Structure 1
Amino acid sequence: MESSTGSRGQDVRYQPDERPPLPLTIGLGLQYAALAVAGVVLSPVILISTVGGSEAYMSWVVFAALVVSGATTVIQVARVGRVGSGYLLLMGSSSAFLAICVPALERGGGGLLASLIIASSLCQFLLATKLSLFRKIFTPTVAGTVLILIPISLSALILRKLTDVPADTSPLAAPVTTAVTLVVFAAVSIRGPGALRRGGAGRGV
């Protein structure tokens, strides 16, 4: 037991408060940024394309998402007073809110969407200040159920996008692409070696 614990400890090259060499820090930072940018950009693109927004509007929304995500990530790292964690904690857009953002943007425009964003952020700030009081409520069972309900709430939006194809495209294009992606993802995740399983989602896409 001691030998296995010691071998695992040897794999840790730097403690959380240590400073790696600058070239290594830059290289790892660029890798992390490259992986993170896709997620930050994807949600605004899905949102604007679903509601039929223009290319110019989509570009502006993506730009705003990147700026806000970058600024808030810097605040997390810098930690000013009680604001920020002091560690690299990525702040970005989340597809979990698409089920609310799409109808809000369709029915009330950008003003309604901005109002909902501000209201939801205030609720999150309030929960964060008293998070320890909610541990008995937000149990792993409750949190797991909520995570399961997120893709269910997005199912209508996903099915809507499957039928949103150009006129000269085969109606089977979207379902076939989805099926192939799921098969590749499942096959790599279940049957592939360890290194491939860790990147199964990316290879499926």
Structure 2
Amino acid sequence: MGSSSQGEESIVAYEIDEKPPLGESIPLGVQHVLAMFLGNVAPPLIIAGALGLATGTTSFLVQMALFVAGVATIVQAYPIGPVGARLPIVMGTSFAFLGPLIGIGSDYGLATVFGACLVGASVEIGLGAGLRKRFKKIFPPIVSGIVVMLIGLTLIPVGMDYVAGGVGAANYGYPINLGLAGLVFLISLVLNQYFDGILRYASILIGIVVGYIVAIPLGMVDFSAIEQASWFAIPIPLKFGINFKIGPIITLAFLYVITTMETIGDITGTTSAVGREPDDRELSGGLIADGVMSSFGAIFNALPNTSFSQNVGLINFTGVASRFAAAIGGVFLVGLGLIPKIGAIVAEMPDAVLGGGALIMFGMIFSSGARIIINKVKPGRRNMVILAVAIGLGLAVELRPDAIETFFGQLQPTIGPIAQDAQTFFSSGLITGGFSGLVLSFLLPEG
């Protein structure tokens, strides 16, 4: 089963094209689901909470997140024409879009969110179809590192609001909320650091489950919505309609570039498990699938999808690189997405429980960006200036949004509707920081 390629030895239990017996493939597929489950459902939960959506709408968004992630995972493993990498790439909802999508949803509504997701995905499809190598040269590691760091930094306040019980909650900051979030945080940390295997990879999910169970006798879970939810439902395309605004589209187009870079890294990490570099077909197919399945997701009321790094780590840790096993996980996700009661159970999760896990995840996103900077960026005054300016501007806009709102409000009589689109773009700390880093990387001389 193990093989070597290009002079590198790979020690794997199952190669990419091997099919473990079904009795093994099923638990291996479930393990993939456990590793990515919380990361997949957290973004729709957080967006629904930020936009004040009803429980039924929230559970539907969770349901669609599961369904689309499952379909996308299956397509990555077993491509449809040029769409798919033919690799065990597990897909799920991307955190990179979370902050900007909250802003777009607040300003324009869900129809515009899904319209921007649909059109913006063409950027990644184009990169996968032939522009990847050229674009990688003009999008250096310092910019991708800055953007990933800002994803984490700009989401930490959101995570803290959930820890405290949710924005607008009557018991915001009460000890019961912080205590429950602290329990989830502690369990997740202990499992991650002192255990191996699935206990480590699913550590945050396990912490969330324990916190959810503890919250039940505390009277923090309302079972009425769960009882009313049906056991089976067919996905409904364009349930919230679709609308197109230039500002949100440009904002998301920039973010699809970020997920392109992340997916290249995940594909490379996956093939490294079998001792080789990815070929052009795998890279192109994986990126096209990212974009196509994000467009598919927008039609089916799901947020943009991307490859999940934790599952790449799982493959390297277990030595199971079978795309068949990953596809089994995708089948489970599709099944879960067809069961509204699952979405209702997740939607009723107390905010503090989600916050305890989310705070760790957001911190880890920042750490991933910092690792890119440390490992791939040459130290020097130029890069330090780019890092300082980009992070400074990004956090300034994120922490003091009223300044940007007032600025473009004053410009509106002069430039009209353009002011609203520009405000949408620049009011995101992630976009402002990432864009300024990209511009400086072109303008400042190497030295």
TM range (shorter): 0.7 to 0.9
> Deviation at 1:29?
0.8
In structure 1, the residue matched to 2:337 is none
Deviates more, 1:165-174 or 1:78-87: 165-174
| Identity percentage of aligned residues | 25
The TM-score with structure 1 as length reference comes to: 0.77
In structure 1, the residue matched to 2:364 is none
> Deviation at 1:141?
3.0
Q: 2:68 and 2:22 mapped to 1: Cα distance?
A: 26
Q: After the TM superposition, list the runs of 4 or more consecutive aligned residues in structure 1 that deviate by more than 4 angstroms.
A: 8-11, 172-189
Structure 1 residues 17 and 193, CA gap change in structure 2 (3 angstroms): same
Q: Which amino acid aligns with 2:149?
A: I
> Deviation at 1:86?
0.9
Deviates more, 1:155-164 or 1:60-69: 155-164
In structure 1, the residue matched to 2:345 is none
Q: 1:170 and 1:146 mapped to 2: Cα distance?
A: 30
Larger RCO (alpha carbons 8 Å, 6+ apart): 2
In structure 1, the residue matched to 2:105 is 105
In structure 2, the residue matched to 1:151 is 152
Q: 1:21 and 1:115 mapped to 2: Cα distance?
A: 42
> Deviation at 1:78?
1.5
In structure 1, the residue matched to 2:82 is 82
Q: Which amino acid aligns with 1:167?
A: A
Structure 1 residues 158 and 170, CA gap change in structure 2 (3 angstroms): closer
Structure 1 residues 184 and 67, CA gap change in structure 2 (3 angstroms): closer
Pick from 164, 167, 171: which aligns with 2:170? 167
Q: How does 1:47-196 map to 2 (within 5 A)?
A: 47-129=47-129, 130-163=131-164, 164=166, 166-168=169-171, 171-175=174-178, 192-193=193-194, 195=196
Structure 1 residues 56 and 186, CA gap change in structure 2 (3 angstroms): closer
Q: 1:65 and 1:194 mapped to 2: Cα distance?
A: 29
User: Where in structure 2 are there 5+ consecutive unaligned residues?
Assistant: 1-7, 208-356, 358-447
User: Where in structure 1 are there 5+ consecutive unaligned residues?
Assistant: 1-7
SS in 2 for 1:92: strand
Q: 1:128 and 1:171 mapped to 2: Cα distance?
A: 48
Aligned residues: 195
Measured on the aligned residues, the alpha-carbon RMSD in Å equals 3.0
Structure 1 residues 179 and 26, CA gap change in structure 2 (3 angstroms): closer
Q: Which amino acid aligns with 2:140?
A: T
Q: 2:180 and 2:27 mapped to 1: Cα distance?
A: 34
In structure 1, the residue matched to 2:12 is 12
Deviates more, 1:102-111 or 1:12-21: 12-21
Structure 1 residues 88 and 12, CA gap change in structure 2 (3 angstroms): closer
Query: Does the 8 Å CA contact 1:50/1:161 hold for their aligned counterparts?
Result: no
